[in-house]
Chain A
Amino acid sequence: MVAPSGLISLALALALAPMMPSIINRTKALFAGRHGQPWLQPYRELWKLLHKGAVYSHTTTPVFFTGPIVGCAAMLVGLLFVPLAGTHPLISFPGDFLLVAYLLGLARFFTVSAALDTGSSFEGMGASREVFFSALAEPALLLALATLAALSGQLSLADIFARIDAGVLASGAGPALLLAAAAMMVVFLAENARIPVDDPNTHLELTMIHEVMVLDHSGPDLAAIQYAACLKMWILGSLLVSVLLPVRSGWLLADLGAGILGLGLLAVATGVVESVMARLRLVRVPQFLIAASILSIVALVLVVR
């Protein structure tokens, strides 16, 4: 079904998505005792990139610049189905969360292909890690979502989150919800290339995952990639927030406000995590992700029993 009110949250998402990295960076700077970059730094970077030319490697093929386009398009379409807190998304249908999950997969497929297209061994390495880790993250996410579906007895994100309110928490499903949320948090960190899985601002290609894949992109392509990354963070973030923040006042503005506030807090939390935690050794990451899957399986068993 289609809900016009979804347009508002869509517009907010498009506008505010770049704020999340900015908040994260400010938080980290705060912890590091630095002043940190300006709040609108991400917007400036996008603006700058959009006005640049581009450099392409001899090796590359059209796949190279298709990657960012597909990635960005996938996120945009994904946003159509993602509710923020209690608010209704633009479109919703039974199983839409599967579509969203697979759209993320599509974006990944093309980002990775674009990375491989350069023929650089570093980008190949990054691509290898990316697909490896996200393959392990996927069950965690889907099983967590399945838990929510089972809990609410609904199959579309809108209906699911409409049913997950304080009442549900009171009804003893709290632990399950928390476990699912924890799993989703892990996925959030992994998918958005955050510590403890990846380090967005390392300077050594050997240790990068996401950053190394986009080394060769420049200009508008890079802008598309960065914007897509923000949107991805927004999508996963709002799923997480909708679980953790059961505010279902029914007033659009109140719910939206709560949701955005929640996202902000999530960004802060991420910043805190990044500041206090060290990055895991690469061989440890799989266990971290599998643990997330196990969390959501436990949650599922708790719910269905």
Chain B
Amino acid sequence: MGLFGVGLMVLIGGGFLSLGLSKTPKTAAAVACFTAVGGSLLVLVGGLAVLCSGSPVEVRFAWHVPFGSCSFGLDPLSCVFVLPIAAVVAVAAVYGREYLEHSCRPSMIGVSWFFFNLLAATMLLVVAARNGLLFLVCWEAMSLASFFLVMSDYEREEVRRAGWIYLAATHLGTSLLLVLFLLLGRKSGSLDFDQFSSEPALAGTLFVLALVGFGTKAGFIPVHVWLPEAHPAAPSHVSAVMSGVMIKTGIYGLLRTLTFLGQPPAWWGWTLVGIGAASGILGILFALSQRDLKRLLAYSSVENIGIIALGLGTGLLGITHRVPAMAALGLLGALVHVLNHALFKGLLFLGAGAVQHGAATRELDRLGGLLKRMPVTGATFLVGACAVCGLPPLNGFLSELLIYLGVLAGVAEQRAAVSWAMLCVLVIGTLALVGGFAAVCFTKAFGAVFLGEPRSDASRHAHEVGPAMRYSLVTLAAACVLVALSAPLWPLVFRSAALTIVPATFRAETAAAAGRATVPLAAAAAAFLAFLAASGVLAAVRKRLLAGRRIDRGPTWDCGYAAPTARMQYTASSYTGPLVVLFRMFVRPRVDLRPPEGLFPIRGRYASQVPDLFREYFFGPVFAGIAWVASRLRWLQQGRIQLYVLYIALTVLVLLVWKLG
């Protein structure tokens, strides 16, 4: 806890320092970056210490506000989230220092760093808070810090819109959390977590409140709408932090709430599984139909949150039906995926930032051939892409494997029930489908950005990013590989965290089951090594075979069509065209087509974009409806004093007659 506290101090202090130094941007950036890295490393060490010792620590100070108390604590569950937060923040800070130099007005750099450090600190405080009011204050401070970071490029209209949507969404979500905590603290009258308790009658309500309130931050469908707007709008190192770790605080909140609610009934698990399936499939469908690289990544975050939800749901069902393996593997899968997604999504967003920095656009159909020009970015992006598709030999595979095994373990127990088949179909079908679609999505992303020929001058003249950004990319890529190769470690590290959600009566057997999870993971790690070895050998053989043979270079085989131009390449949109057409029920591209006409057509035009289904057909109409009703009611205030006096008279009469009559 000591180290943790010091780290927080360093983070916050650095933030204020850089705010004060904003007259001299370079020093401000240097200070903030240094403190961010240092602080998060301290925090990382502190968190690891608690995680390994497995014994929670708490500190409490008085706080002179009603119902508030400054009580912080670190238990395994918190630390599971502290780990990725600290790691991603540190890397993003190193990256951001160089990134901001080129992309941010010097006068704003100090402010931007202030909010960055604040965001980091508040995220850590959220997972460490042990008092409802404190949690809410940190939670909202976190949202506001990230809101200001999203708005940092506020000259652009779409950024302002994104910021507003984000602010509105997070605020509405939070208002549900207020009720949640007040209901939890209702019996004891105190808002300290250790005083929380839920009346059985209310548990369902509380769960729903938590699901929607925290789901809004986490990005569950259908309350994900802010996510694809805000993440592209933010500076890339911020998107990495937001998408990589900030949305995970929503998952943390959900888990923390579950620890108060006791034995979960079956429908909680089913709800989570359902939401997970919806978020997973729709999220990846929206993702693969995007044309903006960062929007694509944002939607893919929705998909990954869906996978986490699948794991949680499986785990809860395991608890409900007392299937130890299912509970353990499901929860472990979810938690491990939290870490994995933080790493590879952070990596991908940083990569996207590098692409934007190098080629000055995020439009997939204007990019191409960057691998030659930005080799490091390209290679690391490839690693991230494989990881997010859950492919071996990378970390993404581990968490999906755990979740698969959790479900199969449940079924293998031969509980005869159709609902188990349902579970299998939902979870396994979703994971498989999502895996396939993710492959589509990220071959599209990687191929369109880094392979083939450049589709625009900007990308033709792209240049590799500077050392700091390269190093941070490489660091995260290496982290993905290392997590994968150290697979058997993670169940042991995360076990105690997963157990905090399991009711005490059921802990022992769950713990045992969690221990058994190391076997497949160890085998998987071995397989990874085998694979790496095999590809190494094959590469050597190929080199050996080609040594001294004739190697020609020529144009790509164009099937007899002479001199194809770069613009004739298969574009990203046409690449996913068939899938989009197959699922046009969900993915509705808005096409603006002006075909060439006449004998000598001057120009034609074709533009298509995919608006968010739920924003387009649900939230948009609802908000418009409310505004419409409001505008209808405006005649109440239409300026005639007679009417105003009439209101008073009627009020008096009605009240007198009603209350006395």
Contacts and interface: CB of A to CB of B under 8 A. Distances in A.
Contacts of A220: 541-542, 545-546
Interface stretch (B186-194, B313-321, B573-581): B573-581
Given A77-B534, A116-B452, A135-B436, A293 B411 contact: no
B443 A132 contact: no
Interface stretch (B262-270, B417-425, B635-643): B417-425
Given A69-B535, A93-B520, A106-B392, A304 B570 contact: no
B428 interface: yes
Contacts of A304: 411, 416-418, 420-421, 424
Given A55-B552, A91-B523, A69 B542 contact: yes
B432 A143 contact: yes
A129 B435 CA distance: 16
Given A69-B542, A94-B405, A109-B439, A127 B549 contact: no
B412 A224 contact: no
B564 interface: yes
Interface stretch (B146-154, B553-561, B653-661): B553-561
B490 interface: no
Contacts of B443: 109, 112-113, 116, 127, 131
Interface stretch (B11-19, B208-216, B383-391, B610-618): B383-391
Nearest to B386: A109
Contacts of B519: 93-94
B439 A153 contact: no
Contact of B391 (A56, A105, A116): A105
A138 B520 contact: no
Interface string B530-572: 1100110011011001100111111111110000101011100
Interface string A69-112: 11011101100110000000001011110110111011011001
Interface in B356-404: 368-369, 371-372, 378, 382, 386, 389-392, 397, 400-401, 404
Interface string A25-60: 000000000000000000000000010111111111
Contacts of A300: 421, 424-425
Given A55-B552, A69-B535, A116-B443, A297 B433 contact: no
B287 to A, nearest CB: 13
Nearest to B407: A146
Contacts of A128: 570, 574-578
B622 interface: no
B421 A59 contact: no
How would you classify the secondary structure of chain B's contact residues: helix, strand, loop or mixed? helix
A123 B451 CA distance: 12
B433 A138 contact: yes
B539 A69 contact: yes
Given A53-B552, A56-B552, A301-B421, A150 B558 contact: no
Interface string B422-452: 0011001101110111011011001110111
A234 interface: no
Contact of A153 (B412, B436, B453, B569): B412
B582 interface: yes
Given A119-B451, A139-B433, A205-B559, A132 B570 contact: no
B359 to A, nearest CB: 16
Interface string A192-222: 0000000000000100000000011001110
Contact of B531 (A103, A113, A117): A103
Given A127-B447, A305-B421, A149 B453 contact: no
B502 interface: no
Interface in B315-358: none
Nearest to A75: B534
Given A55-B554, A72-B538, A127-B443, A63 B371 contact: yes
A149 B526 CA distance: 23
B397 A59 contact: no
Contacts of A119: 368-369, 451-453, 556, 566, 569
Nearest to A140: B432
B409 interface: yes
A236 B386 CA distance: 23
B414 interface: yes
B408 interface: yes
B440 A293 contact: no
Contacts of B570: 116, 121, 123-125, 127-128
Nearest to A160: B412
Given A121-B570, A305-B418, A99 B401 contact: yes
Contact of A215 (B371, B390, B416, B557): B557
A91 B390 CA distance: 22
Contacts of B545: 50, 219-220
Given A119-B569, A127-B575, A143-B428, A149 B408 contact: yes
A120 B564 contact: yes
A291 interface: no
A58 B556 CA distance: 7
Nearest to A142: B432
B512 interface: no
B440 A135 contact: yes
28 contacts: A53-B550, A54-B551, A55-B551, A57-B557, A61-B372, A61-B451, A65-B542, A70-B535, A72-B538, A91-B526, A91-B527, A93-B519, A94-B520, A95-B405, A113-B446, A119-B368, A119-B452, A120-B564, A127-B575, A128-B578, A139-B429, A141-B432, A150-B411, A150-B424, A154-B412, A224-B542, A293-B429, A301-B418
Interface of A: 50, 52-61, 63, 65, 69-70, 72-74, 76-77, 80-81, 91, 93-96, 98-99, 101-103, 105-106, 108-109, 112-113, 116-125, 127-129, 131-132, 134-139, 141-143, 146, 149-150, 153-155, 205, 215-216, 219-221, 224, 282, 286, 293, 297, 300-301, 303-305
Given A137-B436, A301-B425, 7 more contacts: A53-B549, A61-B451, A73-B535, A136-B436, A141-B432, A146-B407, A153-B414
Interface of B: 368-369, 371-372, 378, 382, 386, 389-392, 397, 400-401, 404-405, 407-409, 411-414, 416-418, 420-421, 424-425, 428-429, 431-433, 435-437, 439-440, 442-443, 446-448, 450-453, 519-520, 523-524, 526-527, 530-531, 534-535, 538-539, 541-542, 545-546, 549-559, 564, 566, 568-570, 574-579, 582
4 tightest A-B contacts by CB? A124-B570, A135-B436, A119-B452, A116-B447
